[in-house]
Amino acid sequence: MNLPTKLTPIADGIHAWIPHASGSWGFANCLLIASGTRAALVDTPYDGHLTRALLAAATAVLPAGARVETVVNTHANGDHCFGNSHFPGAEIISTRASLDHLCTEPGPGQMHHLTHGTPADQPLGWYMRRHFGHYQYRGIQLVPPTRTFTGHHQLSVGAIPVELIEVGPAHTMGDLIVHLPDQGVVCAGDIVFIGDHPAHWQGPLSGVAAACETILRLEPQTIVPGHGPIVGTAELRDHRQYLQDLEGAIHDGHAKGHSAQRTAEQLARTGFYAHLGLEERLMITTAVEYRHLDGDDSAPDLIALANRAATWAFHRHHAGIPAPTPVPAAS
């Protein structure tokens, strides 16, 4: 796998690690904040190999004597927190809801089993090997947050003020965004995906769109998404439009009495935002939105949701069906 060897400079003391690979799962962005001898990291990578690559790149820009003393996890998905154990002694901050959500999230052992212990000729096993087989889950020690908050939390890294703002439930139960007011930077976590369809596990989509609205109100110059390249507010507005278009199409299918599966397949077949990768994620987000429309507030079965996406991708792949013809996004 091609990992960046350098961090991307954003502002004085602010660098991003952008292991961008569209059409993939798990290559999440991280943000390094350093001032004087203090340093903080927003999100940690998915496995030891990725985290060591990030640390090597970080060493080149960290001031002498500085080490990461604070880790912020934007949410509890493993691709944003499985690297926590590489920062021994660091305070690890997330929302209270994110800590609660950890127990429903597949841990490293379960990810290893799903990737290597499921039948390779069945959709889930095939899909997991294809998209997660290059990660090393064995031996990862899950380190939960050591400090949690609800609403807002303020900290400073040396001279740099940092605001944590809870915006979940949205992508997951406990999402937060990180705002650096002096630098005009927002680290959005998985509220924002650029280049691929997002997979939202909690929803509703109106919650994700509201979180985008919260970011826009901060008027940042720079937005670091959870996945994909760094963007500005114009791209974030486009993304909010995507979320609203998706919400409209799903609610329409629901109102017609169509199943979640039928609605999602219709979206994929008709090339909904077909320039984005991983169309199979529409199966997940649609099923999640239906849960809200149906008033189902039981805990979502994340593996069953992943299986919906895997089954769609498996059958498309084995039928030799190419990605749908791109159509212009609605304006």
Which residues contact Zn ion by CB under 5 A? 28, 77, 79, 190, 226
User: Which of 34/93 has CB closer to Zn ion?
Assistant: 93
Query: From the CB of 197, what's the least distance to Zn ion, in Å?
Result: 13
How far is the CA of 55 from the CAs of 67, 83, 87, 251, 267, in angstroms? 10, 11, 10, 44, 40
Query: From the CB of 278, what's the least distance to Zn ion, in Å?
Result: 12
User: Which of 228/253 has CB closer to Zn ion?
Assistant: 228
Query: From the CB of 183, what's the least distance to Zn ion, in Å?
Result: 23
CB 288 within 8 A of CB 297: no
Q: Which of 199, 185, 193 is nearest to 228 (CA)?
A: 193
Query: From the CB of 284, what's the least distance to Zn ion, in Å?
Result: 13
How far is the CA of 97 from the CAs of 10, 47, 90, in angstroms? 30, 23, 20
How far is the CA of 26 from the CAs of 29, 52, 71, 252, 302, in angstroms? 9, 16, 18, 31, 16
In 182-259, which residue ranges form alpha helices assigned H by DSSP?
205-217, 233-255
Query: From the CB of 43, what's the least distance to Zn ion, in Å?
Result: 8
User: Which of 13/132 has CB closer to Zn ion?
Assistant: 132
Query: From the CB of 28, what's the least distance to Zn ion, in Å?
Result: 4
User: Which of 196/247 has CB closer to Zn ion?
Assistant: 196
User: Which of 70/77 has CB closer to Zn ion?
Assistant: 77
User: Which of 171/254 has CB closer to Zn ion?
Assistant: 171
Query: From the CB of 95, what's the least distance to Zn ion, in Å?
Result: 16
Q: How buried is residue 217: exposed, middle or buried, by Cβ count under 10 Å (0-12/13-18/19+)? A: exposed
Tell me whether the omega of the peptide bond preceding residue 9 falls within 30 degrees of 0, making it cis. no
Rg (CA), the chain: 19
Task: Report how far apart the first and last C-alpha atoms of the chain are (Å, whole number).
Answer: 36
User: Which of 46/87 has CB closer to Zn ion?
Assistant: 46
Q: How far apart are CA 108 and CA 303, in angstroms?
A: 14
Q: Which of 162, 175, 171 is nearest to 94 (CA)?
A: 175
User: Which of 227/308 has CB closer to Zn ion?
Assistant: 227
Does residue 292 sit in helix, strand or coil? helix
User: Which of 101/254 has CB closer to Zn ion?
Assistant: 101
Extract the tokens encoding 35: 């001032």
Query: From the CB of 136, what's the least distance to Zn ion, in Å?
Result: 18
Query: From the CB of 131, what's the least distance to Zn ion, in Å?
Result: 12
CA atoms within 13 A on the CB side of 95: 26
Between strands 91-95 and 147-149, the pairing is parallel
